[in-house]
Amino acid sequence: MDYEERPWRKFPWKPRITVSMKLPVAILLVLFALIPMVLCTQTVIVSMSQAQVDDRMARVQSEIRILSDKMMRVNYLSGEGRAAMEGEIQTAADVYDGRIVVVNQDFRIIEDTFHIAENRYHIAETVIRCFQGETSNRYNKEKRYFAVTAPIYASSEDKTVVGALIMTASTEPLLSVTESVADKTLLLQCIVMLVAVVAAVAASVFLTKPLRELRVKLNHVAQGALDTDIITDAYQETRDISQEVELTISKLREVDQSRQEFVSNVSHELKTPITSIRVLADSLMGMGDAPVELYREFMEDISVEIDRESNIINDLLTLVKMDKSEAELNVSQVNINALVEQILKRLRPIANKQKVELVFESIREVTADVDEVKISLAISNLVENAVKYNREDGWVRVTLDADHKFFYVKVTDSGIGILEDVQDRIFDRFYRVDKARSRETGGSGLGLAITRSVVLMHKGAIKLSSKEGEGSTFTLRIPLNYVA
C-alpha cells in the first residue's frame, strides 16, 4: 500500500515523523507538572508585588493627608510654620525613600526635599486637578514609582485649596525584594522541572511497558511462533489490540492450513492421472508383442487420463485467475435467457447420452450486467453436475426468474442428492462426495469452487437445497446491475 493511501494518515494528529510513544507521554507529564506550578508561582509573585505597592501607597496617602492637615493648621503656605515643619517633611520623605514637593497657588514649588526644583513652576494635570480639590494616586509601572497628590486647604472651615502636596516614591526597593524571591523560585522551578522530567521519563517507560511486551510477543509471532499467547491485558487498549491481532493470527493460521491442504490436494490430484498413465504405459511395455487392439485400448485409456490432467490444470488456472482480482470482470449487458439456452444447447448431447432430460423454464426476459464468459461457466458447471450426478431417465430443470434487483437461476435435478452433513463442504476445492463416481465422470472437484467464485465476484449468492436420493437444487442470485 502506498504511504499516501494509508487511511490513518487522514487523522489530523498523526505526526509527520514516527516517534516513540514515550516522548508525547513524557512531554504531557512534564507539562501537567510544570504549567500549574509556573502559573501558581507567577500569580503569587505578581500579586505579592502588587500588594506591597498598594500597601506602600496607602501608607503614603495617609502620611500625606496628615502632613497636608498639619500644613493647613500651621498656615504653612503663608510661610508661618514652614521652618517648624521642614524637618517633619524631610523625615516623611526619607521614611518612604521618596520626594515631597509643595506647590503654591501660583504653581510654584515652594518646598522640595531634593532641593533641586524650588521656585520652579510645576504645572501638571494632577496638580491642576488637586487645586480643584481632587486627591490623586498614580502608579507608573514601567518607571517603577508612584505619585500621591493631596490638596492643602486654607483652613478647616475654608475649603479653598491653597497648595498641593505631592509625594513621589520609587517602588524599586519593594520590587527588588519580590524579584529576588522570583529568582529563588525560578531556581526552585528549574529543580522541580528536572525532577519532573526524570519522573516523566520514568513514568512513560513504565506506562508503555505493556506495549513493549506486546511488541516482543508479536515479534515472536512474526518469527513464526503462531501459537504464542499474545493477550496483554495490562490496559483495556492493549487487551483489545492483542485480541484483534490474535483473531487475525488465527485467521492466518486457517489460511495457512487451507493453503497447505490445497497444495497437497493439487499435488495429489495432478499425480493421480500421471500414476495411471505410468501404470498403463509400464504394462504396455511389459507385454512385448501385444495385439494392436490392446495397444489401442491402452492408448485410449492413456488419452482419457491426459484429458483429466488437462481438465484439472485448466480448472486450476481458471480458479487462480479469479482469485487474483475482481477487476478482471469483463462486464457487459447480457441477455441471460439467450445465454442459458446456449448452455443447454451445448450440454444437451451429453444429457441425451446419459438419458437425462434438460428443461428450460424462463419466467421472464432478463438482461443483466455480467461477465458473460464467467457467468456462462458458473451456470454450465451447475447444469453439468446436475446431469453427471443424475440417474438414468432423470431430468434437469433450469429456471430463470428476476425481480427489480436480482436475477435467479435455479438448477434442479432428479439426481442422487447430497448428504446434509457435506452440503457446506461441496464448494471447497477438490471436495467430492463420491470420489470414485466423480473421477469416472472426469470431474476435477473444482467446478463448484469456480461457480462460487464467479458468483461472489458478481456480488451475488449461491444456495443449495438437497436431499440424498431425491435430487438437488442450486440457486444463483446475481444483481442485475453490477456495482464495482
Tell me phi and psi for residue 470, to 5 degrees: -110, -25
What single letter denotes the amino acid at residue 459?
A: K
413 part of the interface to ligand ADP, by CB under 6 A: yes
- Collapsing DSSP to helix, strand or coil, 111 comes out as strand
Distance CA 382, CA 440 (A): 18
344 part of the interface to ligand ADP, by CB under 6 A: no
Per CB under 6 A, the segment of 92-100, 218-226, 301-309, 385-393 that binds ligand ADP is 385-393
Closest CB to ligand ADP among 55 and 434? 434
438 neighbors 422 (Cβ within 8 angstroms): no
358 part of the interface to ligand ADP, by CB under 6 A: no
381 part of the interface to ligand ADP, by CB under 6 A: yes
Which cell numbers hold the place of 385? 453436475
Q: How far is the CB of 385 from ligand ADP (least distance, A)?
A: 3
* Residues that contact ligand ADP, how many (by CB under 6 A): 22
Closest CB to ligand ADP among 204 and 376? 376
412 part of the interface to ligand ADP, by CB under 6 A: no
Contacts of 313 (CB under 8 A, 6+ apart): 270
Tell me phi and psi for residue 120, to 5 degrees: -85, 165
Q: How far is the CB of 408 from ligand ADP (least distance, A)?
A: 17
Q: How far is the CB of 472 from ligand ADP (least distance, A)?
A: 4
Cell match 514515550: residue?
22
204 part of the interface to ligand ADP, by CB under 6 A: no
325-329: long-range contacts (C-beta < 8 A, 24 or more apart)?
326/457, 326/484, 327/484, 329/371, 329/374, 329/457, 329/458, 329/482
Tell me which residue has its CB nearest to ligand ADP.
443
Question: Parallel, antiparallel, or unpaired: how do β-strands 461-467 and 406-413 relate?
Answer: unpaired
Q: How far is the CB of 271 from ligand ADP (least distance, A)?
A: 17
Q: How far is the CB of 272 from ligand ADP (least distance, A)?
A: 13
Cell match 485448466: residue?
314
β-sheet bridge partners, residue 367:
335
Q: Which of 386, 409, 457, 476 binds ligand ADP (CB under 6 A)?
A: 386
Q: How far is the CB of 384 from ligand ADP (least distance, A)?
A: 7
Q: How far is the CB of 304 from ligand ADP (least distance, A)?
A: 15
Closest CB to ligand ADP among 22 and 429? 429
Number of neighbours of residue 210 by Cβ within 10 angstroms: 17
Closest CA to 41 of 184, 204, 219: 184
407 neighbors 478 (Cβ within 8 angstroms): yes
273 part of the interface to ligand ADP, by CB under 6 A: no
Binders of ligand ADP among residues 425 to 454 (CB under 6 A) are 426, 431-434, 438, 443-449
Closest CB to ligand ADP among 290 and 304? 304
Interface with ligand ADP (CB under 6 A): 381, 385-386, 389, 413, 415-416, 418, 426, 431-434, 438, 443-449, 472
